Structure 1
Amino acid sequence: MRGLNTRIVSLATTAAAVVVTAVASTPAAHATVVGTPVLRYSFDKGFSDDSGHGHALTVYAVRGGTTAAVANGAGQALRFPKHCTGRKCPRVVLQTASTDELNPGTAAFRYGATILLPKKETTSGQNVLQKGYSSAGGQYKLQIDGRAGRPSCVLVGTGRRGIHQARSPVSVADGAWHTIECQRSGSTLSVTVDGVVRDTATVPATLSVSNAAPLSIGGKGAYADNDQFQGTVDEVWVARG
């Protein structure tokens, strides 16, 4: 990350949460964002929002959790902590505060990321990107499910308990870069992996997502059982339309 200048918020330690390290595998292809971007992170210029909408990220970490900047082609990607079990494991997430433009309501929108995840780093579940929780206010989320490492897209409507999920039958946990996109359009939720639609799910056309929760990258939050992402991420984005 060239010219890195960011706020570090540590909940259990004063150690810096970002270090620079080596190259991350074969360079990833840049994601093509369709629609109107409202948030985008390439991590090439620290944790600033490349969309120009001002959604800068803050790092939250506990128990020495860190992210590491790794070279990815001509730019940078961000590596999260490796696999660890137990309540004393390091945890780290990146968050930006909620705004109206990050709450799509019932409108069509898309979100996604480019990730690299080795098979040995899979767990029962890892969250790449999420805004909101399944219990209240609605939610949209991109996660990697189970030891098989299958990506899925999740929507939960405001005031509703039903969880809607489109899950790829194809794993992305192979140590190579993969681009994943989630799209909600009307009553359809889809998950696309490397340009191929892998699954769709039907959602109510009236389903609305609007909450005050921050948008979080790498897990629910900096605490135990946070569904910590344990791979490398690049090109995280949210777009309308």
Structure 2
Amino acid sequence: MTLRRSVPAVVLTAMVLGVGTASARAATTDFVARYDFDGGRSGAIVDESGNGHVLGQVSSGGGAVRVVAHRSGQALRFPAKCGLKDQSKCPHIALQSPSTASLNPGTRPLAFGASVLLAESQTTKGQNIVQKGYSATSSQWKMQIDGEAGQPSCVLVGARPGIKMVRSSVSVTDGHWHTLQCLRRGTQFTIVVDGVVRGNRTISAELAISNELPLSIGGKGAFRDNDQFQGILDDVWVRVG
């Protein structure tokens, strides 16, 4: 838990989530998918939730992830920022698992999160951490870090057009580890950084998310404009209901 949290942030956490911080953590133990990456990257990456959402790799341009130490386990380092003018020649990689009904929340409560480390020098116009679906062609839920400011944001897109975004008021691109959570409960859509609510907005309770696209981590695919994540990633999880 961060020591920089203010009293208003604590109050807002209780107001938005309806529970204290400890209860909020306990509420995310019933995972639909969870990846701690402690098994490395050889072959398929196991879903630690036991629900079988095994991750495979899609890549181009020599894109690969590298295992690095994190706490008592491991994390995955994604390709660094590429300076080539022709982005199709840059390394691209995403970790993906096929769509299942359990990953489509509809209008139910939804929470997803990750631990990230991203240096200021590695910021780009768009880096996707975890998502399911595309904003332009289907419904979507997504966590991302966009722009030089390095402020993470959460995105929901329903069956009807219209992107609903909540952006963190603080940056996380300082070369240190940060935990990020996106929470949707009823009409409340919230982003939590290091245990502190850093953004909240109201959305329609009828906003529904369901698509046949894969769960994707580290980018939306392996193509040229895949919004490649370019830091280190660990402890990715999804909870529905």
TM class, shorter-chain normalised?
A: 0.7 to 0.9
2:187 aligns with 187
- Please give the alpha-carbon distance, in whole angstroms, between the structure 1 residues aligned to 2:82 and 2:187: 38
Deviation at 1:33, TM superposition (A): 6.2
Deviation at 1:34, TM superposition (A): 2.7
The one-letter code sitting in structure 1 at the alignment partner of 2:69 is A
Per-residue displacement from partner, 1:35-93 (whole Å, max 9, x unpaired)? 32100000012410000001110011101111000011210000000001432101011
Structural RMSD (CA)? 1.3
Structure 2: unaligned runs, 5 residues or longer: 1-23
Secondary structure of 1:170 counterpart = coil
1:34 aligns with 27
Q: How many residues align?
A: 210
8 Å Cα contact 2:118/2:172 also seen in 1: yes
**1:45 maps to 2:43:** no
1:111 aligns with 112
1:60 aligns with 58
Deviation at 1:203, TM superposition (A): 1.1
- Please give the alpha-carbon distance, in whole angstroms, between the structure 2 residues aligned to 1:136 and 1:100: 19
The one-letter code sitting in structure 2 at the alignment partner of 1:49 is D
- Please give the alpha-carbon distance, in whole angstroms, between the structure 1 residues aligned to 2:66 and 2:56: 15
8 Å Cα contact 1:93/1:218 also seen in 2: yes
- Please give the alpha-carbon distance, in whole angstroms, between the structure 1 residues aligned to 2:25 and 2:35: 13
Deviation at 1:125, TM superposition (A): 1.1
The one-letter code sitting in structure 1 at the alignment partner of 2:178 is H
Identity among equivalent pairs (%): 54
1:23 aligns with none
The one-letter code sitting in structure 1 at the alignment partner of 2:143 is L
2:121 aligns with 120
- Please give the alpha-carbon distance, in whole angstroms, between the structure 2 residues aligned to 1:121 and 1:136: 28
- Please give the alpha-carbon distance, in whole angstroms, between the structure 2 residues aligned to 1:91 and 1:240: 29
2:154 aligns with 153
2:226 aligns with 226
8 Å Cα contact 1:113/1:234 also seen in 2: yes
- Please give the alpha-carbon distance, in whole angstroms, between the structure 2 residues aligned to 1:139 and 1:73: 32
Looking at secondary structure, tell me which structure has more strand per residue.
1
Deviation at 1:137, TM superposition (A): 2.9
Per-residue displacement from partner, 1:136-194 (whole Å, max 9, x unpaired)? 33100000010111000000001x11100010010000000000000000011100000
8 Å Cα contact 2:109/2:186 also seen in 1: yes
Q: Which runs of 4+ in 1 moved over 3 A?
A: none
- The TM-score, its normalising length taken from structure 1, stands at 0.85
